[in-house]
Amino acid sequence: MEREVAEEFRSRLDEYGITLDSASLETLEAESARAGYLVHRVAQGPITLFSIPRVTPGTVARVAGYRHPLVLAHRIGTAAMESLRQAGISFIDRAGNAHIEMDGLLIDVRGRRQQSPSPVGGGVKGANLFSVKRSQVVMALLAWPWLAKAPIRALAEAAGVSVGQAYETTAVLADYGYLDLESRRILRGRLLLDSWAAAYPTALGAPSRFAGFHGDLRRPLEPVDLVYVSGESAATDRLRGIQSLTAYATGDRTRLALANRWVATGDRNVHVGRVFWRNPEGEPPSLRVLPAPAPLIYADLLASGDPRQREVALEIREAADGLRQL
């Protein structure tokens, strides 16, 4: 759990006169449990802390067998709150809605709403939505929007991040008003795409994340392992006179350069990043060169600074099935 999120939960608990002893929220991973000790002037005793990304009907069955479970969640829907109450499961969300019952202690707070910050800057206590790891999660959601309704582990695998990082990103997305955690639906998808693409050159697409080479772009690409092409290299049907190659390699980039006779001198017209994602829908096993996910192609075209590529980026934004449906 990220520090600012842990501090927010501590602040909510402190508001109700509760402290947690011998339990570090910062190291509590999403979808995990940890023993802790609750202290209040009315009651105190051992509890089992749960960090649950999304409270679902299965949450009750999962945690009901533990001693004094306390569920920490970003946001809990009204129906889910009622199910937890009826099962005698304590909970608190980041807005401060809570039901905590233990040995004569009863705290029941309802109807509080999490304030949604502006989508431009800020976030929860200044959280950066477009840091590298969070950008990977956003890219996965933009490429495969159905992942918003999938288990958090599936989103984490597709984005190439830990379950905890995926969970924290969905929480920040909700705070920016880009994700409804109750319906598990992306909101304002076009604005999210454009905001993510605008931040791309300084985070996920920073030059330091790519190996640069010079090569003859007239030669067909020789893949050593699976390679994804992006930018203008993925838009040859719309652009003529390709001047650069942007690729993402699953294997060793030096081996890829040797196989294609690229050199690390001269005009660097070949830029090779590392594949961080995993297509949740799978890839054709017979193909070794594939287009990168549509959001990456869009972002790489915009980041080029070339007016021709920017024009094609806007065309792809309107034509690509996934991007058009955002």
Domain boundaries in the chain?
3-109, 124-201, 207-324
Residue 66 region by backbone torsions, left for phi larger than 0, else alpha for psi between -120 and 50, else beta? beta
Q: How far apart are CA 15 and CA 37, in angstroms?
A: 17
Percentage of residues in the chain having pLDDT higher than 70: 90
243 φ/ψ angles, rounded to the nearest 5 degrees: -110, -5
CB-based contact 132:204 (threshold 8 Å): yes
pTM comes to 0.66
**107-111, 112-116, 174-178, range with the lowest pLDDT:** 112-116
Q: 190 CB contacts (<8 Å, ≥6 apart)?
A: 326
Per-residue tokens: 152: 């958090």
Fold for 3-109, please state it: Trna Endonuclease; Chain: A, domain 1 (3.40.1350)
Strands (DSSP E) found in the chain? 19-21, 32-39, 44-51, 69-73, 90-93, 98-102, 105-109, 179-180, 185-186, 211-213, 227-230, 245-249, 270-274, 289-291
**100-114, 207-221, 257-271, range with the lowest pLDDT:** 100-114
Query: Which pLDDT band holds residue 95 (cuts at 50, 70, 90)?
Result: confident
Average pLDDT, integer, range 289-295? 94
Q: 265 CB contacts (<8 Å, ≥6 apart)?
A: 214
The answer to whether residue 124 scores a pLDDT higher than 60 is: no
Residue 211: per-residue pLDDT: 94
Average pLDDT, integer, range 55-84? 86
Mean model confidence pLDDT for the chain: 85
Query: Which pLDDT band holds residue 297 (cuts at 50, 70, 90)?
Result: very high
Give pLDDT tens digits for 166-196.
888 998 898 888 998 888 889 989 899 999 9
Percentage of residues in the chain having pLDDT higher than 90: 37
Average pLDDT, integer, range 253-275? 93
**11-25, 118-132, 144-158, 172-186, range with the lowest pLDDT:** 118-132
Per-residue tokens: 102: 């233990």
Residue 118: per-residue pLDDT: 41
Residue 122: per-residue pLDDT: 41
Query: Which pLDDT band holds residue 212 (cuts at 50, 70, 90)?
Result: very high
Query: Which pLDDT band holds residue 324 (cuts at 50, 70, 90)?
Result: low
Query: Which pLDDT band holds residue 18 (cuts at 50, 70, 90)?
Result: confident
CB-based contact 245:193 (threshold 8 Å): no
Q: Which residue has the higher pLDDT, 297 or 20?
A: 297
Fold for 124-201, please state it: Arc Repressor Mutant, subunit A (1.10.10)
CB-based contact 6:23 (threshold 8 Å): no
Query: Which pLDDT band holds residue 326 (cuts at 50, 70, 90)?
Result: low
The residue assigned the tokens 């004094």 is 68
The residue assigned the tokens 């570090």 is 24
User: DSSP labels for 146-172?
Assistant: GGGGS-HHHHHHHHTS-HHHHHHHHHH
Average pLDDT, integer, range 158-166? 89
How many CB atoms are located within 10 Å of the residue 40 CB? 18
